[in-house]
Amino acid sequence: MKRPNRLSTIFFVLFLLFSHSLTWAASTPESRPNVLVILVDDLGYGDLSSYGATDLKSPHIDALLNRGMKFRNFYANCPVCSPTRAALLTGHYQDLVGVPGVIRTHPENSWGYLKPSAVTLADLFGSAGYQTAIIGKWHLGLESPNTPNERGFDLFRGFLGDMMDDYYLHRRHNVNYMRWNQETIDPKGHATDLFTDWTCEYLKQQAKSESPFLLYLAYNAPHTPIQPPQDWQEKVKQREAEIDPSRAKLVALIEHLDAGIGKVIQTLDETGLSNNTLIVFSSDNGGQLSVGANNGPLRAGKQSMYEGGLKVPTGVVWKNHITPHSQTDFMAMSMDIFPTVCEASVIKVPAEIDGVSFLPTLEGKQQEPLRAHWFFRRREGGNRYGGKTIEAVRSGQWKLLQNSPFEPLELYDLKADPLETNNLAEKNRSRFNQLSVLLRAEIQRYGSVPWQKPLTSTSKD
């Protein structure tokens, strides 16, 4: 046998060392992607040009979605704010982290308390060497220990509460919930502009950092009050001569939001960060019909267990990893964002979470459905709900739902009836009973987690 010469052996060893160094470099924190999660508030499924709106122009969000993959079957965990945010940040069904309903200022009308032991996305990314930040709306607690800085975020610059009574005054029930970390602040300007400017400032700072970042940008637009800047409203009225006045205000608020997101993406491009930043765009629930929202052809909207309350516009962008202008019918939901961005960032996903990564789909690979059964739930007060819950379970093409705690369960075949017009509860008792059993078992599972503040804690509400 011919022996290799000494020079070829040296080259072979150097090749192995070089290959190993590339593998090591690919797994170091410095080479991991930055992660930007943009969550907007109450954006209807049909309230972007790219999702069918004809009286609204959203060029910047549309352009962003064109850089990656647009989802046609993405669902919020819940048809209202706090629960979806809890699911997104923990990777769990919201009830399993103590947030089945909206967290509010007054205890008698607050329906959630974030579980103290719940591990957040910020906790995991911070432990992995990421800089973590939230800019915008928090809505998962108004006081210690459930403030952003205590739940894993290095930086919080935004609003603790559920909604603003005025986009310029930034108050709720005359309480100032605006914070820069733990400090109460009183900035001037429209909330959308503030959150945009703060985000651009943060990105410019991070462009100089050697550490990757996780940024959760949570706009409160287009949530009520529908309060766009006046010049944006006038522009819509001039362009859309026949538009309903209430619709015009909402369209203006969304277009103003779109411009803000455009500035954020422009900053990513100008700093070079977009070359290695994974961007997720989604909404926390469907649009509110009473203020003129458009949920496309879907039934109902925000607060509802029908499709219009749950299905939301969503897209994911990651240069050189996700094919531009791609679209998918693959089904995923808010809590699946958690394991997806973890996997993309080479961060170990906690084994016990309910979310499942859809990274293979983003990379153009075939993927089995994330789960056999999909659950949606919400707890609420007032005479309409009485502190009780509404819920839904979807299994394949079948969906069982109860949209009022005081009305019977309804059964729909979404394949044959995507608009949920033909209730089959009485005609298909076998399927009805099958899904009822699944729903009851899930409700029992949720019962193990408290959703009210522990009695031993001191309230400042």
Digit-coded pLDDT (tens) for 59-102 = 999 999 999 999 999 999 999 999 999 999 999 999 999 999 99
Strand partners, 183: 180
pLDDT attached to residue 5: 53
Token pair of 170 as six digits: 């930034």
pLDDT of residue 459: 46
Q: What is the pTM of this model?
A: 0.93
Q: Please provide the CATH number assigned to the domain covering 32-371.
A: 3.40.720.10
The model's pLDDT over 157-177, given as tens digits with 9 standing for 90+, comes to 999 999 999 999 999 999 999
Judged against a pLDDT cut of 70, whether residue 416 lies above it is answered with yes
Sequence ranges of the chain with CATH classification 3.40.720.10:
32-371
Could you tell me the pLDDT band of residue 456, with boundaries at 50, 70 and 90? low
User: Which CATH fold would you assign to the domain 374-446?
Assistant: Arylsulfatase, C-terminal domain (3.30.1120)
Q: Give residue 34's pLDDT band: very low, low, confident or very high (50, 70, 90).
A: very high
* Beta bridge mates, 28: none
Res 31: pLDDT: 77
Q: Return d(Cα 221, Cα 400) in angstroms, integer.
A: 31
Beta bridge partners of 218: 39, 136
- How many alpha carbons lie under 13 Å from residue 377 in its C-beta half-sphere? 27
Of 247-256, 330-339, 449-458, least confident by mean pLDDT is 449-458
What local confidence, expressed as pLDDT, does residue 461 receive? 45
**Does 403 score more than 90 pLDDT?**
yes
- For residues 294, 299, 302 and 306, what is the CA-based torsion angle, rounded to 10 degrees? -150
pLDDT of residue 446: 97
| Residue 43 and residue 261 in contact, taking contact as beta carbons nearer than 8 Å | no
Cβ density class 259-273: b for 16+ within 10 Å, e for less: bbbbebbebbeebeb
User: Taking the chain, what is the end-to-end CA distance rounded to the nearest angstrom?
Assistant: 84
Tell me what pLDDT residue 16 has: 40
Average pLDDT, the chain: 93
Q: What is the pLDDT of residues 115-143, one digit of tens each?
A: 999 999 999 999 999 999 999 999 999 99
Give CATH 3.30.1120.10 domain extents, the chain.
Answer: 374-446
DSSP state of 349: P
CB neighbourhood size of 289 (10 A) = 17
Share of the chain above pLDDT 70, in %: 92
The pLDDT tens digits for 307-340 are 999 999 999 999 999 999 999 999 999 999 999 9
Query: Please, which residues have CB within 8 angstroms of residue 282's CB and are 6 or more apart in sequence?
Result: 37, 38, 39, 40, 74, 76, 312, 313, 314, 315, 334, 337
